[in-house]
A and B are shown apart, each in its own frame.
Chain A
Amino acid sequence: MATMSDSKTNEINLTEPMITRPFRVNRAIKDTHDTFSLELTPSGNSNKFDFAPGQFNMLYVFGVGEVPISISGDPAKQSKLVHTTRAVGNVTKAMNKLKAGDTLGVRGPFGTAWPVKEAEGEDVVLVAGGIGLAPLRPVIYHLLANRGQYGKIALLYGARTPEDILFQKTLEKWRSRFDFEMYITVDRATGNWKGNVGVVTQLIPRSPFDPLNCVAMICGPEIMMRFTVLELEKRGVTTNKIYVSMERNMKCGIGLCGHCQLGRTFICKDGAVYPYSQIADLFTKREL
């Protein structure tokens, strides 16, 4: 089974991690009423950007500030760097106003990756809550591009309402595949919604994966991840096969400034993706 260090693929492999590179906005996509994606291309000589699913970048809106944003695009498409986020703070609100042709600063990629290598030969269950689908999307691209390497693949996705469901066109495309199981639920709905209503944890008992031979990857609000872990354990998944993506106030991206410290670990360099078994004790500590 993978350890925390096994799952790292790109730990501070940058020569100048604090230097921002300019990227051009190719496309700004409005995903839902409050989330958007930016498709970026590097300016200058290199037009490639290599990253592993689960990693994040520090995005800098010039004159406003810098924020950590997960990469949500296809890792195989190195010339198209995609980030998805919600417009909630000053920086992301300014980012939401960017248009094609504008320039943005990028530092990264930082952090650990989802264990796509370790999951080969196993069933894979991905549990996403809200905007947590964005950091998991690169994993799905990877799994589907390497479909033969994995057993069953199931995506369980919970959103607040039908209007908050991210990447709807992509999800429709995935739903049409015979080798990919997808279950979506919303916390509340009205009108003509014919899908599931209820919390995402309730999809776990009915999802077709082998709990003894599977790797689970969870991304969403911490409280949703806590209850998801409990439900996976009930199904028989062992905690060393459960991975979670943590979020704190990441600033430097290289574990120096201490803003993202979670107990003994720094999320920007030791995470954001962790084997649950390695941080289980920190998960329920109120003081952290």
Chain B
Amino acid sequence: MENLERVLSEHPFFAGLQPEYIKLLVGCASNVAFKPGEFILREGEPAESFYLIRHGKVMIETFVAGKGSIMIRTREAGEILGWSWLVPPYKWHFDARALEVTRAIALDGKCLRGKCDEDYRLGYEIMKRFNAIIAERLEATRLQLMDIYGDHV
């Protein structure tokens, strides 16, 4: 537990979060590892947790019949994977697959939602952090959509 507490507090996602909240989050956290090629999330399945990636690389992708996997984005150490656990109906919208040996801390979404409902300050801290991530991903997605290296831009 002490080890998980240290890992959580050292992850950039929780930078600046009060130690008492870190202690609280440990109750929702577990250490996980994935082999290369192993699916971490599957589209349509319940989004029950999110992951603080500590080591390795993960590909977020989707599948198109006849075309195979379409790669959307990679996530690496220091980043987080998954925010569908925050938004009803709590289902994954994309697949995520480990590209290499990936170690992460999984945070149980239901457990975390419960703690956020009990303590709005914690909820606000978590929301602020996810807000920044969602805004950054929206901006990146817009840039990707613009196809800025194409002839037309």
Contact residues of A with B, CB < 8 Å?
86, 88, 129-131, 158-160, 164, 185, 187-191, 193-199, 201-202, 206, 220-221, 223-224, 227
Of the residues A160, A198, A202, A220, contact of B147 by C-beta under 8 Å: A160
Q: A159-B149, A223-B153 are in contact. Are A196 and B70 (CB under 8 A)?
A: no
Q: List 8 A-B contacts (CB under 8 A).
A: A187-B144, A190-B70, A196-B74, A197-B71, A201-B143, A202-B140, A206-B78, A220-B148
Q: Provide the residues of chain B in CB contact with A130, threshold 8 Å.
A: 148-149
Of the residues A129, A194, A201, contact of B149 by C-beta under 8 Å: A129
Q: Are B71 and A160 in touch, CB under 8 angstroms? A: no
Of the residues B59, B70, B72, B148, contact of A224 by C-beta under 8 Å: B148
Q: Are B149 and A187 in touch, CB under 8 angstroms? A: yes
Q: Are B143 and A193 in touch, CB under 8 angstroms? A: no
User: Shortest distance in angstroms between A140's beta carbon and chain B's nearest beta carbon?
Assistant: 19
Q: Are B139 and A188 in touch, CB under 8 angstroms? A: no
Report the Cα distance A185→B153, complex, angstroms: 19
Q: Are B140 and A199 in touch, CB under 8 angstroms? A: yes
Q: A190-B68, A223-B153 are in contact. Are A198 and B73 (CB under 8 A)?
A: yes
User: Shortest distance in angstroms between A249's beta carbon and chain B's nearest beta carbon?
Assistant: 16
Report the Cα distance A227→B153, complex, angstroms: 15
Report the Cα distance A160→B72, complex, angstroms: 12
Q: A159-B149, A221-B148 are in contact. Are A197 and B68 (CB under 8 A)?
A: no
Report the Cα distance A242→B38, complex, angstroms: 41
Q: Are B70 and A221 in touch, CB under 8 angstroms? A: no
Question: 8 tightest CB-CB pairs across the interface, nearest first?
Answer: A130-B149, A160-B149, A189-B71, A199-B143, A197-B71, A196-B74, A221-B148, A198-B73
Q: Are B99 and A198 in touch, CB under 8 angstroms? A: no
Q: A129-B149, A159-B149 are in contact. Are A190 and B143 (CB under 8 A)?
A: no
Q: Are B68 and A191 in touch, CB under 8 angstroms? A: yes
Q: A190-B69, A190-B70, A227-B139 are in contact. Are A198 and B153 (CB under 8 A)?
A: no
Q: Are B76 and A223 in touch, CB under 8 angstroms? A: no
Q: Provide the residues of chain A in CB contact with B99, threshold 8 Å.
A: 194
Q: Provide the residues of chain A in CB contact with B100, threshold 8 Å.
A: 194
Q: Mark B69-110, 1 if CB is under 8 A from A, else 0.
A: 111111010100000000000000000000110000000000
| CB-nearest residue of chain A to B60 | A197
Q: Provide the residues of chain B in CB contact with A189, threshold 8 Å.
A: 71
Q: Are A221 and B139 in touch, CB under 8 angstroms? A: no
Q: Provide the residues of chain B in CB contact with A196, threshold 8 Å.
A: 57, 74, 76
| CB-nearest residue of chain A to B141 | A199
User: Shortest distance in angstroms between B138's beta carbon and chain A's nearest beta carbon?
Assistant: 12
User: Shortest distance in angstroms between A246's beta carbon and chain B's nearest beta carbon?
Assistant: 15
Report the Cα distance A45→B152, complex, angstroms: 42
Q: Are A193 and B71 in touch, CB under 8 angstroms? A: yes
User: Shortest distance in angstroms between A23's beta carbon and chain B's nearest beta carbon?
Assistant: 27
**Does B114 sit at the interface, judged by CB under 8 A?**
no
Of the residues B59, B136, B148, contact of A197 by C-beta under 8 Å: B59
Q: Provide the residues of chain B in CB contact with A206, threshold 8 Å.
A: 76, 78
Q: Are B74 and A199 in touch, CB under 8 angstroms? A: no
User: Shortest distance in angstroms between A175's beta carbon and chain B's nearest beta carbon?
Assistant: 16
7 new A-B contacts at CB < 8 Å, known A188-B71, A188-B144, A223-B148: A88-B151, A130-B148, A190-B69, A193-B71, A199-B144, A206-B78, A224-B143
User: Shortest distance in angstroms between B41's beta carbon and chain A's nearest beta carbon?
Assistant: 16
